Amino acid sequence: MLKVDSLTRPPLGPVSFKLPAGAIGIVTGPSGSGKSLLARAIVDLDPNTGEVSWRGRARLKTPAPQWRRWIAYVPAETGWWADRIADHFPPDIDAARLNELLHAVNLPRDALSWPVSRASTGERQRLAFLRALIRDPEMMILDEPTSALDAETRKRVEDVILAERRAGRTFLIITHDPAQAARLGDIFWRMENGRLSPAPDASSLVEIPREGA
């Protein structure tokens, strides 16, 4: 279980919630309400206070690299620090597994040989998801993981997420799409002015414009 207690990073918080292992939690809310700040705070990318634990292991007592191996964060705007896609993937990659995942999200097998500049926004979005997933984290935090995708490709990514959930992986997903929330979510929260409140189900989530819309 992910346990978050009084997590604060102004203007976020205090935020407290629990997400059972193997579940998909959904966070929605208006632009600027603190959703991405919450994700960054959980993985300790920004200074924050409060207590966070994963499966009984306290973040405070865990080295940051190990914590982020357990809980992988894929931001809405993906970062690329080298010229080639392949340079962002582990050198000891499971090639067969990667090929399966590339096909599953509608990417060609040679995508890793591309320069980063060749990849579209949607391709980078999927590749960032795969580079995190291929490292086999126990939990993934995904910030708007399909915002740049067409309906068919979005479904393929969602199918991978659901398959990984069935295999036991935990997800916390930030989305502005209530239909996506209904398709994927087990537990729902809404963020308002840096505070998180539970929602009874996906039908209680209203349509919210995407960031920048």
166, part of any domain? yes
Residue 93 lies in a domain: no
Say what the pLDDT of residue 208 is.
Answer: 41
Distance CA 210, CA 2 (A): 27
Q: Is residue 163 part of a domain?
A: yes
The reply to whether 110 falls in a domain is no
Is residue 130 a part of any domain in this protein? no
* Model pTM above 0.85: yes
Q: What is the CATH number of the domain that holds 38?
A: 3.40.50.300
**Residue 114 in domain:** no
- What DSSP letter does each residue of 16-52 carry, written as one string? EEEE-TT-EEEEE--TTSSHHHHHHHHTTSS--EEEE
Domain, as residue range, for 167? 2-76+137-201
Number of structural domains (the chain) is 1
Is 90 a domain residue? no
Span 73-130, pLDDT tens digits: 999 999 999 999 999 999 999 999 999 999 999 999 999 999 999 999 999 999 999 9
Residue 213: inside a domain: no
In tens, the pLDDT along 150-185 reads 999 999 999 999 999 999 999 999 999 999 999 999
